[in-house]
Structure 1
Amino acid sequence: MTTFFEEPKLTTSGTKVFDKRYAGFLFDMDGTLLNSIAAAERVWSRWAERQGLDVEAFLPTMHGKRGIDTIRGLGLPGIDVEAEALEIERGEIEDVEGVVSIPGAVDFLNALPSSRWAIVTSAPVALARARIEAAGLPQPPRIITAEDVKIGKPDPAGYLLAARHLDVPSSRCLVFEDVTAGVKAGEAAGADVMVVTATHSHRMETFHPTIASYEGMTVHLDGAGEMRIVREA
């Protein structure tokens, strides 16, 4: 897939995000901290072909949501949604070839206090841990996965739960996301949102600030342990 990179937008909201101090950072995983597109699309393509779906039309619809929600939303007759979701999960755990971290993500995460960040992913926990390891990212101190919520993104439940685990208000958090469902979840949680465009093949229309990667970014901690993003000149 062709990757589209863009410089951070210096919109009014973007300026506020870079000037503001936060009590917690909440990260989506796929497309935000790591790139698993090739692996995921290999597995989902095989499944879609078996179901007789138009693979090219289907693939863009399955990113950023729980697998079970994707399958249920198709309304396919005569299938066991939970069994199919488990089959997809097994295939994705077995196939992590080409899963890599977003540039700069490893150093950025390592600069964060362990009590101040979490991952909120639509992936099941076993798959999330496998992809994080394959990408060489630090395992998160706290992770909210598909098993932890009854309703997936764009519902804000995952981000609200992560904020509670960090013991901070969701309104004092910055959410890092890459797709519309996740952005809507962050907005509904009352958090500020940063859109990561590293895996985008087309420009995403958003009023939120965007970053192409984490390169050149680090974090400044104040005396209260709150965080502000610092970018190299």
Structure 2
Amino acid sequence: MPAHDTLFNRAFGAFLFDMDGTVLNSIAAAERIWSAWAVRHGVDVETFLPTIHGARAIDTINRLNLPGVDAEAQAAVITEAEIADVEGIVEIPGAAKFLNSLPADRWAMVTSAPRDLALRRMAAAGIPEPALMITAEDVKAGKPDPAGYLLAAKRLGLEARDCLIFEDATVGIQAAEAAGAALMIITTTHQHPLETAHATLASYADIRVEVDNAGQLHLQKN
């Protein structure tokens, strides 16, 4: 059975969502800020930008191994700049309506962004604030480590295998796989077709959710 069909033939305890690229598109703002930062630090912008998506700022900077650079301090600089610049941030088609249709205690956001930045971007895109949000500050290891997704499931009283994770970026997909959860990949912001065995979705307008008497979530096609 194709992966896409499998997701529509089972019940889930909760849905877990990445933020950037999954429920909102912040690529323009993120790339503006990171490009300027890269130029200041002598980093080749073209090869660097594809590495920023889905990861915590501190992990992105640490990977560069730049001499004399305080990764924690620079991550704070990046975060301040990103909080100040939300121009062009928009929701992924149908995301806000879909999230608003979910029971508040049956979904969570798991993002590599710091909490203040996540709240700012969600407000800019019209995305509802979740009752549970796991952010960069809540984990010692960022994606592709599954810690964030495992923590979200635990706080919802579930195992990750009982959840469906919505993701878009490579490090997030790896984190979802490592958590042992089912996975739906949002392809809206992908510039190139994605080759994957996982289910894919271009717009939340194509799906809806039904909640059974036990509070379990069933994904339905529109």
TM-score normalized by the length of structure 2 = 0.98
Aligned residue for 1:215, secondary structure, equals: helix
Of 38, 41, 44, the match for 2:34: 44
Structure 1 match to 2:127: 137
Of 7, 12, 18, the match for 1:28: 18
Give, as a single letter, the amino acid of the residue that structure 1 aligns with 2:150: L
Of 69, 77, 83, the match for 2:67: 77
Tell me, in whole angstroms, the C-alpha distance in 1 between the residues paired with 2:9 and 2:94. 20
Q: Which runs of 5+ in 1 are unaligned?
A: 1-10
Per-residue deviation, 1:20: 1.2
Tell me, in whole angstroms, the C-alpha distance in 2 between the residues paired with 1:216 and 1:187. 24
1:164 counterpart = 2:154: yes
Give, as a single letter, the amino acid of the residue that structure 2 aligns with 1:142: L
1:231 counterpart = 2:206: no
Tell me, in whole angstroms, the C-alpha distance in 2 between the residues paired with 1:80 and 1:87. 11
Give, as a single letter, the amino acid of the residue that structure 1 aligns with 2:38: A
Give, as a single letter, the amino acid of the residue that structure 2 aligns with 1:211: L
Tell me, in whole angstroms, the C-alpha distance in 2 between the residues paired with 1:204 and 1:145. 26
Per-residue deviation, 1:136: 0.3
Structure 2 match to 1:187: 177
Structure 1 match to 2:87: 97
Give, as a single letter, the amino acid of the residue that structure 1 aligns with 2:186: V
Structure 1 match to 2:194: 204
Tell me, in whole angstroms, the C-alpha distance in 1 between the residues paired with 2:65 and 2:169. 23
Aligned residue for 1:19, secondary structure, equals: coil
1:119 counterpart = 2:109: yes
Give, as a single letter, the amino acid of the residue that structure 1 aligns with 2:155: H
Tell me, in whole angstroms, the C-alpha distance in 2 between the residues paired with 1:13 and 1:98. 33
Deviations 1:190-226 (A, max 9, x none): 1000000010001122110000010131101111010
Per-residue deviation, 1:121: 0.3
Could you list the structure 1 runs, at least 4 aligned residues long, displaced by more than 6 angstroms after superposition. Answer: none
Give, as a single letter, the amino acid of the residue that structure 2 aligns with 1:47: W
Per-residue deviation, 1:42: 0.5
Aligned residue for 2:203, secondary structure, equals: coil
Deviations 1:82-139 (A, max 9, x none): 1100000000000000100000001100110000000000000000000000000100
Structure 2 match to 1:6: none
Give, as a single letter, the amino acid of the residue that structure 2 aligns with 1:75: N
Answer 1 or 2: higher relative contact order, Cα 8 Å, separation at least 6.
1
Aligned residue for 2:11, secondary structure, equals: coil
How many corresponding residue pairs?
222
Of 121, 140, 165, the match for 1:175: 165
Structure 2 match to 1:128: 118
Q: Which runs of 5+ in 2 are unaligned?
A: none
Tell me, in whole angstroms, the C-alpha distance in 1 between the residues paired with 2:26 and 2:95. 14
TM-score normalized by the length of structure 1 = 0.94
Deviations 1:123-174 (A, max 9, x none): 0000000000000010011000000000000100000000011111111000
